[in-house]
Structure 1
């Protein structure tokens, strides 16, 4: 068994596995990403064209709202509980928000792509 290709009933990973580990939704190889949050043009193992899937900016918009709210609540709590200097907030929240956004973006984009693949989503056509 190849560790890059998880064992599933059809050789295809579930949406959660594909999202968490950057797996190709067709073959399960770890070939989804070519950069930090940039999809590869196609799967190097099975040749699935990732460019035909359009995940758009939906994941980014939701992540910014969710992570921004979470960071704001945590920052307010830390301020009220400990009253640290302002530089402590910068040191805490800027790296945390950056890491959460980048990590969350990878997972959200991969989940949306895997969902589009599984549901055979495509562009709408007018008759």
Structure 2
């Protein structure tokens, strides 16, 4: 006897990876974002309704957490090399952290959409 939840099984790992690549968590073919961070209302390939997938501040928090840890590691590693040039150190660290955050944010947001879809966490 099969239950209704067994019919539509949603694997977590593929959904996370598809979302992190900016693809639909269900089919992996359609684009997830219509702009830099704007989630499409539906998948253009499989017509999955994405209007209920709200990530709010979660991706920004995770991105800041990761970039902060990487930044502190880099700062402590580079401090002894660039201690005599604090302005260069501050500007280079700021640039690295900014670029890293901008590159990570859509991937983290896509992964969180994949998590929400796989775990049926929608309609907040």
- Give the TM-score category using the shorter length: 0.7 to 0.9
Q: Which residue in 1 is equivalent to 2:49?
A: 49
Give unpaired runs (5+ residues) of structure 1.
1-9
| Runs of at least 5 residues in structure 2 that lack an aligned partner in the other structure | 1-9
- The CA deviation at 1:62 is 2.2
Separation in 2 of the partners of 1:30 and 1:100?
25
**Counterpart-to-counterpart distance in 2, 1:95 and 1:30:** 32
- Preserved contact between residue 37 and residue 102 of structure 1 (Cα < 8 Å): no
Instruction: Between the two structures, name the one with larger relative contact order (CA 8 Å, sep ≥ 6).
Output: 2
Distance of 1:54 and 1:100 partners within structure 2: 23
Q: Which runs of 4+ in 1 moved over 3 A?
A: none
1:80 aligns with 2:83: no
Asked if the contact 2:24–2:31 (Cα under 8 Å) also holds between the matched residues in 1, the reply is yes
Once residues 47 and 30 of structure 1 are traced to their aligned partners in structure 2, the CA distance between those partners, rounded to angstroms, is 9
Q: How many residues align?
A: 113
Contact 2:22 2:110 in 1 (8 A): yes
After TM superposition, the score normalised by the length of structure 2 is 0.75
Q: Structure 1 length normalisation: TM-score?
A: 0.73
Please provide the CA RMSD for this pair.
2.3
Please list, as runs of the form range in 1=range in 2, the aligned pairs for 1:41-120 lying within 5 A after superposition.
41-120=41-120
DSSP 3-state at the match of 1:49? coil
User: Does the residue aligned with 2:103 lie in a helix, a strand or coil?
Assistant: helix
